[in-house]
Structure 1
Amino acid sequence: MRHRHHLLPIVAAALGIALFAGMDAAMKAVALAIGAYSGMLWRQLFATAFSAPAYLRSRTAWPGRAALRFHVLRGAVGAAMAVLWFHGLSRLPMAEAIALSFVAPLIALYLAAMLLKERVSRQSMWASLLGLSGMLVLLWARLGTGGERHLDGVAAILASAMLYAWNLILMRQQSQVAGPAEVSFFQSLISGAWLLLALPLAMLVDPALPAIPGNNAHWGLIALSAALAVTSLFLLSWAYGREEAQVLVPIEYSAFLWALALGAIFYADPLRWTTLAGAALIVLGCLLAARRPRHVSPVVEVAV
């Protein structure tokens, strides 16, 4: 029987991706003003407060040992991933950062092979080469720029993508033992706790940390980014519970279009042909890999 696709989950997923892009735009301004670490620390406090009511309403019992183990591990990975991401985002145009981050699903293929014992097919290997070629185009353009290269931003985005790929594996394992409201709440709470634990180390690098937003506009952007992240997470979770992943996966790449638009509007980001070419190659590689249902989906159900 032919599967009938429903419009509402598709609309919900598209809206969720758009809200994530808006969150990135807001957090870029925060990271530029007070730094990625401080911005994430304050944002996680807001996100915990925003996600707590839904979790408390849905909670039937305290999470078991298996769920807590994944919450703690994924919270640590998510905290490091997000700080690296927002540092890179503060150094690069939004569209270029998004394009580089798209290599994460291809990295996840090989992590899935190591951690989940999944087989990497020949098709997936070709997909990986496409993604690698797209990344090399973006790096070639960055190295050839006449202005500041901001290679620390490139390194931060790629390191974040590595953690993002591990996060995909953890998400797949975590989804077996916890619901979306629980995941959202504990992800915010435990990521914030890990950031607090890392504060002494961060202060060795910068004794002025944690930086406090200097005006109400920055506090408003932090609150807005937390609200957008929590809302987007719930929309994506709802959509993926009601529609096949193969239908919703391509919508993830609409984030690139949102990044182009928001970067141009709010940050006057330039548009280069190399950004379009690199993103196209990476997206083609991800779509080729996603054709096999046994692979990890490139759509992430967690806010960074």
Structure 2
Amino acid sequence: MPLLEVEDNAVELIRNVLLGTALGEALGLPVAMAGGSIGSEAILVNGLYAYGSVTEMMLLLAENLAENCGFNPKSYAEALAKRADLENPLRFYHPATAAAIAGIRRGEPWWKAREQPFQNGPRLDAAARAAPIALFYRSQRVAASMAEAQALVTHNSSHDAEAARLYVIALHHTLYRLDPGQLPLVLEDEAQDTLLRELMARLPDLAGEPIDRAAKLLAPLPGGEPHPLAAALYAYMRSPENPLEAARTAAGIAVGSADTAAAMAAALAAAYQGLRQIDDILLERLEAAEWVEMASHQLYNASRICHGEEP
């Protein structure tokens, strides 16, 4: 497992995946907010590229894993209630996710607060935020289970929980250097959700297809928008060595969910090949860069200690 490597390599691996998520979301955020085409610039806040809800919830999840030696739903719910910046429009929380967190903030148990009626299709923010799960747990079976558990803190949809499970499985295999073209085959076998299994089955034949055609075939309904997880996987398969290109492709075809799709695509590419093709200046301009740096070291140290190996 990558986390057993030399410390510098392991921390870099964790940092790459968390930074990839933040980079992808920063690029996809303006697309999702405006519902338009992707441009070259993210949203600037004091000269830095703003992060959204996915990055915020992901880093709170990384801290939760480090502080509790594993995922703890109660403390994660409390962290979301205390620290989620729901009032900041740039964080761009999905209304149902924001309502669930607001309910927790009012004192409702998380398993009641998550019962929100306005789902309006897949909201894969809970999947995209799950990257630290794949980095912390060495057992894929445990990681997949914990991915579902963290999704269910704010989501009541089995589809969203299943998407989080498959995304973490995808990341786990990618960390072990599975060829990107083989990933959909693995996920098709793993999928328990009928729709997700069908979308995974379509992916192997689409890697070389034009983006417009692939987008149509990755939509759950004819004429609809591509599924965010399928869009992320397609974009990663097209550009497995370039997180920036993967993010832009995912955001360009899953416009309404551009932030989540781009975050997942960039994280997968970062897990597979790192961030060598990304200019350091761009990464330093990410608003979440310092938080990512701290969370990466916390997650690494906790992983070593919690698995019985002192750093």
One fold, TM greater than 0.5? no
| TM-score, structure 1 as length reference | 0.34
Which one has the largest radius of gyration?
1
More helix by percentage: 1
Normalising by structure 2, report the TM-score: 0.33
